[in-house]
Amino acid sequence: MPNFDLTPLRSALAEFIPQGRAGLLPALHAAQALYGYLPEPVAAEVSRALRVPLADVHGVIEFYSMFYNEPVGNTIVRVCADPACAMRGADEVLEAAQRKANGDTTVERAPCLGLCNVGVAVNVTQSRMQRDAAPTAVTYGKVTPDSLDSIFAMNAGEAADYVGGDFRLLTALCGNGRATTLAEYEAAGGMAAARKVIGNKMPPAEVIEEVKKSGLVGRGGAAFPTGVKWEGAAKAAGSPKYFVVNADESEPGTFKDRILMEGDPCRIIEGALLGAYAIGANKAYVYIRGEYPTAIARVGAAIAECEAAGYLGTNILGSGFDLDMEVRSGAGAYICGEETALFESIEGKRGFPRVKPPFPTTHGLFGNPTAINNVETLAAAPYILTHGATAFRQFGTEKSAGPKLFCVSGDVARPGLYEAPFGVTIRHLLDDLAGGVIGGGLKSILFGGAAGAFATEKDLDVKLTFEDLRAAGLPLGSGVVMVFNETRDMRDALLRLARFFAHESCGKCYPCQLGTQRQHEILERVAEGKQQAGDMARLSDVGWTMTDASLCGLGQTAASAVLSAMKLWPELFS
């Protein structure tokens, strides 16, 4: 084993030592940035400094896909090959990258990188051993085999996101290729809600009541009433209380949170500030997936801006309210989008979901009352508290209030992020906003991402509301709308979704651990035309077992798209 100079590591770990185990993930990120990977001497030093058992340190390293305990190249190239990127030629890009790789480059097939609108997506991370060179990470879009040389060298431009819709309430400052500054956000009316609520010392109960009246529900997929969640955490006994922003957006087809964080990070910070004030939390975490380096950097910079301007820190706006906000970077684990797995990750553990109840509002982060919200949910909070619940409810329907962001990808003329009121039709979203289906007629639309279900031509006039989609047997989820034209092989799409779940299952519960593997194996046979007698029944049995018996939402929805496809196209499986 090489002789590692641990002196730079000891200096780097100093800031994490006071946090103890809760500092483990950022400490491992810092250590890997120094050495390129996490060999035994480095893991042992982290263990000693943070007083975490070495076995637990190794358990965390092995759990997260972006940590390495064996040598890798100084340049790591991760190529997304999930369905949206596959439609743009991901397999060809991956094969070309593997051919170009040398001993100093590691090429990996990656799960969704969150650039489904501008695929093929490729993440490049450079971890240099030199002490004066910090690691660099960029995720590029619209990559082709011909552009790989500039991608490998990290001198390519980042692909621009298209942002449109019927209006731009939440996304007005997004899609410009850069982060809006605090001054620009304020000029557009930003921080008015913070001044109105916190500057005027509005009673937290009134803040919560206004959010409840607005009808705002979680935009990450669960659709739980936001005001009810805040009320539960506010009334829960125990302190300190925590507020958490769930920015671990990893569902194939989803990229709305990335665009919000990269384009208008101060809006998300203001939403979290309002939520923390409402529940009485003095510490907030923004947990961003590790595959979003640009979002991590821009949110961190925006927090620093807000601190300097007096919107974060001590005695905010002279109110006597204090809030410390910190960015936490994930390390490659889709399961950490599940709220309790995310808590475990912040606490320096493997991202295993917890059994519920108890629920986070009473027993959340570090066992204390916690409110956790999705990025899009928090983007709506400043509008509600500036303009009032009635103004928010003028958009949408009685049961589905407000604007909604839809992530449109695949075979449409303008893949992008679209903001529309609840109640418009699928046809309006695809034809009027996204420019229509390209490359052939419509085959299907995947709603809700990997954990979703398929719509077809007959569903185009279904209204985009919770109630109408539910009646049509379609989940809204986080707003994924992935379009497949009639030339696409749905068996290939299903195989990629199955591979995603098999890769991302945390392994804590047996139905999901085994079920996702078996589902993937069967769909491999189906995709190759080698299905066996009884495979369709096996898929159904495995799918419903995962749905009924898995511990968390990953396993409970891992078969949703497959079961949907079996109803629509039974001939694919026989």
The model's pLDDT over 168-209, given as tens digits with 9 standing for 90+, comes to: 999 999 999 999 999 999 999 999 999 999 999 999 999 999
402: left (phi over 0), alpha (psi -120 to 50) or beta: left
- pLDDT of residue 353 exceeding 50, the answer is yes
- pLDDT of residue 503 exceeding 90, the answer is yes
Cα 107 from chain centroid (whole Å):
23
The ranges assigned to domains in the chain are 7-63, 75-152, 164-393, 403-485, 490-573
User: Can you name the CATH fold of 164-393?
Assistant: Rossmann fold (3.40.50)
Pairing of strands 242-247, 416-421: unpaired
Which residues does 471 contact at the CB level (< 8 Å), separation at least 6? none
pLDDT of residue 103: 83
Task: Say how far apart CA 94 and CA 100 lie, in whole Å.
Answer: 10
> Mean pLDDT throughout 204-224?
96
Task: Say how far apart CA 432 and CA 230 lie, in whole Å.
Answer: 37
Q: Dump the DSSP string for 68-112.
A: -SS---SEEEEEE-SHHHHTTTHHHHHHHHHHH--TTEEEEEES-
> Mean pLDDT throughout 260-282?
98
pLDDT of residue 130: 41
pTM, two decimals, is 0.97
- pLDDT of residue 432 exceeding 50, the answer is yes
pLDDT digits (tens, 9 = 90+) for 274-331: 999 999 999 999 999 999 999 999 999 999 999 999 999 999 999 999 999 999 999 9
Residue 323 φ then ψ, to 5°: -150, 120
CATH number (3.30.420.40, 3.40.50.360, 3.40.30.10, 2.60.40.420) of 75-152 reads 3.40.30.10
pLDDT of residue 189: 98
User: Can you name the CATH fold of 403-485?
Assistant: Ubiquitin-like (UB roll) (3.10.20)
- pLDDT of residue 522 exceeding 80, the answer is yes
- pLDDT of residue 3 exceeding 90, the answer is no
Residue 245 φ then ψ, to 5°: -95, 120
Q: Which of 2, 9, 17 is nearest to 348 (CA)?
A: 17
Query: What CATH number should be reported for the domain whose range is 490-573?
Result: 1.20.1440.230
